[in-house]
Structure 1
Amino acid sequence: MGAKAAHRRGVLDLEAQFAFFRSQHRHPVNAAAHALLTWPILFTNLLILHFLPLPLPVPPALVLTLAYAAAYLAVDRRAGALAGVLFLAAWAASRALAARLGFALSWKLVLATQKKGPTVSDLPEVFLMEPFLIFLQILNKLFGYEPYPEFCKNVDRKMEADLRESRELKQRKTT
């Protein structure tokens, strides 16, 4: 299943998004890289937003932080609240770091952490949901957390169906 199929199911459809995420990050090195890099990339995005000269009553970095927190609360109240608190902490830390480093050094830090980005069609899934899905996976692995009973079983079923669909599509293309 491609990102477009995941998008059709809804960006905030937690089961579908988690199944897609897990199917795309099955290799341990890939999963570890995403777990280690996604949140620092978000942090540096917040860092550079402190320098945007927009005439808004609320700073752009805070707007982004609150948007993420609201989206995460919408998909899961408990884990979303914890992720929202982490985002607020990241916003405060990025604000302090921006004030200390200034634009020139902050920009260099941002460039050092950014990598080839996703395609435009994948933006909602990648930039909005991937940090939360990584966080949810960590909560699940470390503490056995599930947003509700049978969540992981439902995700496993969807993931298997998605992988089966992907294999069938690949098979049809080769014949």
Structure 2
Amino acid sequence: MGEKAAAKLQGKQRRRGLLDLEAQFTFFRSQHRHPVNAAAHALLTGPILFTGLLILHFLPLASPLDPALVFSLAYAAAYLAVDRRAGALAALLFLAGWAASRTLAARLGFELAWKLVLATQLFCWSWQFLGHGLFEKRGPAVSDLPDVFLMEPFLILLQILNKLFGYEPYPGFSKNVDKKLETDLRERRELKQRKVT
């Protein structure tokens, strides 16, 4: 695989549509192959989102809109756009997270809330980066952060639903993703071998 093939592989990864569920899920699975890294993401993405919602309740905005609610509704809308059934579950979870974070924000107040948010975010993000570095042996896809921030929570939910219940957004989804993942991994191996030689 020469430079043209490497550029083609990188271009293919960049052209992944934000709401192209097969491409997003393939990319997500390719970045989280090691079980420890996958478990860290599955366990720690929720607390990252929840504490993000928690701190949004304290933003001093002149607008009457609740930024945490706007954030939750935007995520819910994106997830409903890619898959109605799993998206509906994700939307309910987001709205429940919003309601719980609002209640906790009222109880804690800003002085305690920001400390909880800081500690949780530092712990969870550290483990996310360690999971990639120590177990995947490569850093997270920083160039894809906008996609990752929006889609990764849904992709984690989708993976859990798929593994535990065999859920597929449509028949053949898992087979299509597996084929794309095999092709992607083969191209990566060829690129890596080419760089070595």
What is the TM-score when the length of structure 1 is the normalising length?
Answer: 0.93
Match of 1:50 among 39, 51, 57: 57
Change (3 A) 1:56 1:119: farther
Q: Which residue identity lines up with residue 58 of structure 2 in the other structure?
A: F
Q: Which residue identity lines up with residue 143 of structure 1 in the other structure?
A: F
Distance 1:3 1:42 in 2: 29
Match of 2:168 among 141, 146, 164: 146
5+ residue gaps, structure 1, are none
Aligned residues: 175
The residue matched to 1:53 in structure 2 has which SS? coil
Give the superposition deviation at 1:125: 2.3
Q: Give the match for residue 133 of structure 1.
A: 155
Q: How does 1:70-85 map to 2 (within 5 A)?
A: 70-85=77-92
Give the superposition deviation at 1:6: 3.4
Cα deviation, 1:61-106, whole Å, max 9, x if unaligned, reads 0110000000000100110011001000000000000111111211
Change (3 A) 1:21 1:4: farther
The residue matched to 2:65 in structure 1 has which SS? coil
Q: Give the match for residue 111 of structure 1.
A: 118
Instruction: Compute the RMSD of aligned alpha carbons.
Output: 1.9
5+ residue gaps, structure 2, are 1-5, 130-139
Contact 1:14 1:75 (C-alpha < 8 Å) held by counterparts: yes
Q: Which residue identity lines up with residue 184 of structure 2 in the other structure?
A: D
Q: Which residue identity lines up with residue 103 of structure 2 in the other structure?
A: A
Contact 1:3 1:122 (C-alpha < 8 Å) held by counterparts: no
Match status 1:165 vs 2:187: yes
Give the superposition deviation at 1:55: 1.9
Match status 1:67 vs 2:74: yes
Match status 1:35 vs 2:42: yes
Larger Rg: 2
| Runs of 4+ deviating beyond 4 Å | 1-5, 116-120
Distance 1:3 1:46 in 2: 33
